[in-house]
Structure 1
Amino acid sequence: MIQDEDTPEADKGLAQRQIIHLIYGLFALGIVSCGFFGPAIIAAIVLAYLKRADMVGTVSAGHIDWVIRTFWWGLLWIVLSAIAMFVFVGFVTGAIAVIWVIYRLIKGWLAHCAGEMPLPGL
């Protein structure tokens, strides 16, 4: 049976849904390993930026933006918490920032599994 190149079966790459799972999985690996696999987070963000244009106008685009925003806001709060450690409140704010990143990661991944866009908010 000859397949037309325009059919989805002829697509040699990963499906958008699989790419989103890979991005969430890499991000989660970096978080769960307490930074030991930190490069996995960087790989997830690089992949998200590379695939962002391919997913414009789809549900997956919302997940790409969700992960990218989670990364940058989380990084900001972790850096500010590291600075605040000099006045001994950084441990608390750092813990809150990590919990927030984990919450957003879980919330987005569950929405993806349900085929929905992550809801705006926290």
Structure 2
Amino acid sequence: MSQTDFVNYDQKTPGDRTVMHVLYALHTVAWASLGTLAVIALIVNYIKRADETDALYASHHSYMISTFWWTILWLVVTSPLYLLFIMPGVIAHGIVGLWYLYRCIRGWLRFTNGNVPS
């Protein structure tokens, strides 16, 4: 079993933690901007994850990225429900929106407690 050289890893600064909180906040309030803030946060997630050495931070970036893409998938899959009547589509997109909000808040709370998202 190989040993990890922890001397080469940078310590996390309060600024790194603040960036994560801002990203979770952008994802959480994305509904208010019709998803624009989520796209901005997604781009930052991809950039920050590529340079991340801390497993906790990398896992949270991956969590936010997968939450975004799963949400997009479910919004596309449920879009044909609008062809039936308006209400089934509204209900389906409302459920997807609540699921997205749940995932954002759950991940944010787990990050605040120092836990890996699950």
- How does the TM-score come out when normalised to structure 1? 0.77
Cα root mean square deviation, aligned: 2.4
Deviates more, 1:57-66 or 1:44-53: 57-66
Q: What is the Cα deviation at residue 81 of structure 1?
A: 2.1
Higher helix share: 2
Question: Structure 1: which amino acid aligns with 2:82?
Answer: M
Q: Is 1:86 equivalent to 2:83 in the alignment?
A: yes
Structure 2 residue runs without a partner (length 5+): 1-9
Aligned length: 108
Contact 1:81/1:91, CA 8 A, preserved across alignment:
no
Query: Deviation above 3 Å: which 4+ runs of structure 1?
Result: none
TM-score normalized by structure 2? 0.79
Aligned equivalent of 2:23: 23
Question: Aligned partner of 1:103: which letter?
Answer: Y
Residues in 1 aligned to 2:40 and 2:104: alpha-carbon distance in whole angstroms: 15
- Check 1:46–1:34 CA distance in 2 against 1; reply closer, same or farther (3 A cut): closer
Letter in 2 for 1:14: G
SS of the residue 1:52 aligns to: helix
Describe the superposition over 1:27-69 as per-residue Cα deviations: whole angstroms up to 9, x where unpaired: 12212x162xx32111100000001122244201111111001
The 5-angstrom pairing of residues 1-122 of structure 1 reads 14-15=15-16, 17-31=17-31, 33=32, 35=34, 38-88=35-85, 89-119=88-118
Unaligned runs of 5+ in 1: 1-6
